[in-house]
Structure 1
Amino acid sequence: MNNTHTLVKHDPLQQIRWLTYMMFFMFAMTSDAVGMIIPELITEFDLSMTQASAFHYAPMALIAFSGLFLGFLADSFGRKQTIMLGLGLFSISCFLFAFSRNFTFFLLLLCLIGLAIGLFKTGALALLGDISTSNLEHTKTMNKVEGFFGIGAIVGPALVSFLLTQDVSWTYLYIIAGVMCLILAVLAWRADYPQVAKEANETLKPASLTTTMKMISNPYALGFSLAIALYVATEVAIYVWMPTLLADYTGSWQWLATYALTLFFILRAAGRFLAVWLLNRYSWQGVMVWLSLGIALSYVGTLLGGVNWAVVLLPLSGLFMSMVYPTLNSKGISCFAVQQHGAVAGVILFFTALSAALAPLFMGIISDLFGHIEYGFYLATGFAVLLFLAMLYNFIYDPAEHALLQTRTLDTQASEKISLKTTKV
């Protein structure tokens, strides 16, 4: 008898993993290229910084909305159906960029894209939990997924830069992403998705919006979501405001200041692929402590040494940040039975997107009040220190240990039961 977590063979699962990798790659291409697009918007539509920054905040707000209010669809409607719905909406929205040159229309399309991302991302995150046979495998897979996201974050801005140097509109980034998404939608439609082990916990009610709302008060969902929100606040500070901070740099490492953001993305992506090696040798709790300490020290060093230290420390922080989000995300989802993975992924995604939208906004407000962006980095340093303290608490007390062991045992028992029934048939 083959006791697996799902009812499909390994080859289809590998295909599904690669489909998920490419979804995150495509998502990052568009989301992390916004910093390159905003200056073009300001020039093309004569916008203020606040108006143009809606290109970042609007889709993030809709991702948060979609994750919180539609995340349960991955549980009740099905992983494949939810992913297909999200990919379809994403593709259509991207193609519509070719039919207008109006800023408000573009903003509306970005809102639809945010809604679509929330749909296919919660479906994909829930699916990764379904096809993982252990908590460790789930964490490794999540780091690989976010590694491809990191590659997309490098390719997207580079592609926009290339288009602009060729006097081609930045809107073609979305046309290209739309074509990629359409291909992924076709492949996802033809893929053999695994059947969720519905008998993992027979006392669970069918997923609904009410289930998601109740989950917000769950200590595991809320705890991991808040920890992730702290992490995201430290990360977005880099790719939204680091270029502004380093604009004042006049030292001998001008090349490093010029390519600081690219180096940050490269180190973040590389670190996520190194995660498998680290997790095979050390506990995830211990790794989170050391990595969060590295992030905090990078920010504290920036405050102490100013822009001359920031030019080295802030790009380097990408290596420390690499594993934090996918690891915390996977552990938060793994605290729950597979029938709830969509709902909990939606709750985590809500806090992720909300933090990504609000943290840089608050940094900007503080910087405007005190007259320089360095004051915004005081706030980011506070987030980084709080993240380290949270990871230190997690390492000492390991509050999620019982939940992780319990849910994995239930899922394994249900998998064995279903496998036995299938064998008999």
Structure 2
Amino acid sequence: MSRLVTLVAISACYFIFAILLNSVGTVILQSINSFGISKVQASTLEGFKDLPIAIVSFLVAAFIPRIGYKIALLTGLLAVTAASLAAPVFGNFIVIKLLFACIGASFALVKVSVYSIIGQISDSEKSHSSTLNTVEGIFMVGSLIGYWLFSYFIDTNNLQSLAWLNVYYVLAALLIFTSVLVAFSPIKAPVSSEKNVNFADAFISMLKMSYQPLVLIFIISIFLYVLIEQGISTWLPTFNREILQLPVDISVQMTSIFAASLAAGRLLAGQILKHVNWYRFLQVCIIGMAALIIGILPLTQSIEARDISSLSDLPLAAYLLPLIGLLMAPIYPVLNSIMLSSLEIEKHAPMTGLIVVFSALGGTTGSIITGTVFEFFDGQTAFYLSLIPMLGVFIALRGFRTATARVSQ
């Protein structure tokens, strides 16, 4: 029973942060409309989210087990609650940047804690992989709901309106509820075999992990993967609006198909991977992703604005392009699970720190590159560029498989 309650608590944390983190694409679109900024300026919002994730993870991942996972979770939740309440009060792009900086810094605490707690409540590699895929699947469900929640507050009759910022009052209430859930959950105190190691030594130990061949190949893989995912997810609402000529609220709502695809893909992967080899499975996923990009983007050329009175009025590409998430979904949690399962439990927190750091750097890089190409060329060219990191992940997977085989021998 205590395992179930703990799982519900960490899943709730992931759920609310999924809404906050994956709202960046919607907020970019609304910031362009409401604050009159350029796409290049708007793309920096991803950096305000991801760089604090990287910095905080880099500095405190090795230290979180010492303060306790529950305290780390509550600190992150309460900090974002305060920032969310401030956003609609001040209502300008500077405050939005600070909000996402707070979200990023807090998510670093949450992710390191959640991944470490999963290691505590899992008793085998299969159990770890299944639990991690489930939690990541719930994360994408939160992302899916977030698109619809934000679209509800968008005033389609006045694109300059700041009414959409009122969504943060609702999110603050959800954050408070999640904080109460975490406070009363039976999350275990971290167990470490290195109690006498000081913070500096723990930090240096985390850095040394990145020099191992297996870890190096792994962080390259997740960097490239997140570069692809964030490049697409962050700019899909704007792509829907400017390339597919959809109304703003429908542009955001249709992006939820991408989140739904990611959620379904991760939940299904947990079952499929019980029967198939992870390496072959991920190879098929990457090849399928590339095929969808090559096959669908030509359908998005020269689409003219039209009145949207029903779902049948939407261009086919609006439904097909987000389905790339179904194939993309399993890659990240599978790689993370295999990496973490190869380590002792006490190394999960510093390893998760490295995961979060390079995921954040990949997300920022992907968003800025996509936004810049979108600004100076077009949306199709920006999305075609995702084929390059896809090839990189495909190549890195082979090295990762070889490295993990050596470790297991």
The Cα offsets for residues 15-68 of structure 1, whole Å up to 9 and x where unpaired, read as 111111111111111122222223332343332323333333211111111121
Q: 1:89 to 1:248 in 2, by over 3 A?
A: closer
Q: Give the conservation status (yes or no) of the 8 Å contact 2:43–2:368.
A: no
Cα pair distance change 1:44/1:378, threshold 3 Å: closer
Deviation, 1:216, is: 2.4
SS of residue in 1 equivalent to 2:37: coil
Q: Is the 8 A contact 1:82 1:123 kept in 2?
A: yes
The answer to whether the Cα contact below 8 Å between 1:73 and 1:82 also exists between their aligned partners in 2 is no
The one-letter code sitting in structure 2 at the alignment partner of 1:110 is F
> C-alpha displacement at 1:302, in angstroms?
4.5
Contact 1:75 1:340 survives alignment (8 Å) = no
Alignment map for 1:133-144 (pairs within 5 Å)? 133-144=123-134
Match of 2:232 in 1: 238
Deviation at residue 209 of structure 1 after TM alignment: 2.2
Secondary structure in 2 aligned to 1:281?
A: coil
Number of matched pairs:
386
Structure 1: 5+ residue stretches without partners: 1-10, 251-255, 407-425
Please tell me whether the aligned partners of residues 131 and 194 of structure 1 are also in contact (alpha carbons under 8 angstroms): no
User: Displacement, 1:238?
Assistant: 2.0
Q: Which shows bigger deviation, 174-183 or 348-357?
A: 174-183
Please tell me whether the aligned partners of residues 60 and 353 of structure 1 are also in contact (alpha carbons under 8 angstroms): yes
Task: Give the C-alpha shift of residue 249 in structure 1.
Answer: 4.7
Confirm whether residue 379 of structure 1 aligns to residue 375 of structure 2. Answer: no
1:214 shift after superposition: 2.1
Instruction: Name which of 356, 369, 385 aligns with 1:362.
Output: 369
Q: 1:13 to 1:307 in 2, by over 3 A?
A: same
Q: Does the CA contact (< 8 Å) of 2:222 and 2:332 recur in 1?
A: yes
Counterpart-to-counterpart distance in 1, 2:5 and 2:340:
22
- Residue 151, structure 1, aligned to residue 141, structure 2: yes
- Within 5 Å, which residues of 2 pair with 1:323-402? 323-369=330-376, 371-395=377-401, 397=402, 399-402=403-406
Describe the SS at the equivalent of 2:378. Answer: coil
- How far the C-alpha of 1:293 sits from its partner, in A, is 2.0
Match of 1:102 among 92, 98, 106: 92
Q: Which residue of 2 aligns with 1:76?
A: 66
Distance 1:99 1:372, change over 3 A: closer
Distance in 2, Cα, partners of 1:244 & 1:52: 11
TM-fit CA distance, 1:225: 1.7
Shift of 1:97: 2.3
Q: What is the CA–CA distance in structure 1 between the aligned matches of 2:288 and 2:338, rounded to whole Å? A: 21
Question: Which residue in 2 is equivalent to 1:413?
Answer: none
Separation in 2, partners of 1:143, 1:176: 27
Instruction: Tell me the SS of whatever aligns to 1:208.
Output: helix
8 Å CA contact 1:299–1:384 kept in 2: the answer is no
Residue 291 of structure 1, aligned match among 285, 288, 298:
285
User: Distance between the aligned counterparts of 1:311 and 1:186, measured in 2?
Assistant: 39
Residue correspondence of structure 1 range 115-130 to structure 2 within 5 A: 115-130=105-120
Distance 1:232 1:82 in 2: 24
The runs of 5 or more residues in structure 2 that have no matched partner are 302-315
TM value normalised by structure 1: 0.82
Q: Which amino acid aligns with 2:289?
A: I
CA distance in 2, matches of 1:243, 1:45: 17
1:319 to 307, 322, 326: 326
CA distance in 1, matches of 2:99, 2:189: 33
Name which of 162, 174, 181 aligns with 1:180. Answer: 174
2:209 aligned partner = 215
Distance 1:37 1:133 in 2: 40
Task: Name 1:44's counterpart in structure 2.
Answer: 34
Deviating more after overlay: 95-104 vs 271-280:
95-104
**Do structure 1's residue 307 and structure 2's residue 314 form an aligned pair?**
no
- The letter for the 1-side match of 2:300 is V
Q: Structure 1 residues 346, 30: CA separation in 2 closer, same or farther (over 3 Å shift)?
A: same
Q: What is the identity percentage for the equivalent residue pairs of Structure 1 and Structure 2?
A: 26
String of CA shifts for 1:141-162, please: whole Å, max 9, x gaps.
Answer: 1111111111111111211111
Kindly tell me: are residues 198 and 249 of structure 1, through their superposed partners in 2, closer, same or farther at Cα, counting changes over 3 Å? Answer: closer
Spell out, residue by residue over 1:169-217, the C-alpha distance to the aligned partner (whole angstroms, 9 max, x if none): 2223222222222222222222222344434x89988763222222222
Deviation at 1:245, TM superposition (A): 4.5
Contact 1:221 1:347 in 2 (8 A): no
Cα deviation for residue 288 of structure 1 reads 1.6
Provide the C-alpha distance between the structure 1 equivalents of 2:374 and 2:180, rounded to a whole number of angstroms.
46
Residues 389-419 of structure 1, C-alpha deviation per residue, up to 9 Å, x if partnerless? 2224445x3x21354x58xxxxxxxxxxxxx
SS in 1 for 2:154: helix
Q: Distance in 1 between matches of 2:32 and 2:350?
A: 38
C-alpha spacing 1:95/1:400, structure 2 compared with 1 (3 Å): same
Whole-angstrom CA distance in 1 between matches of 2:375 and 2:43: 15
Aligned residue type for 1:143: N
Distance 1:204 1:284 in 2: 36
Task: Tell me how far 1:279 sits from its aligned partner.
Answer: 1.7
Deviation at 1:311, TM superposition (A): 5.0
How many Å apart are 1:297 and its aligned residue? Answer: 2.2
Indicate which of 151, 162, 187 corresponds to 1:161.
151
Q: Is the 8 A contact 2:39 2:371 kept in 1?
A: no
1:91 touches 1:178 (CA, 8 Å); kept in 2?
yes
Whether the 8 Å contact between 1:82 and 1:119 is mirrored in structure 2 is yes
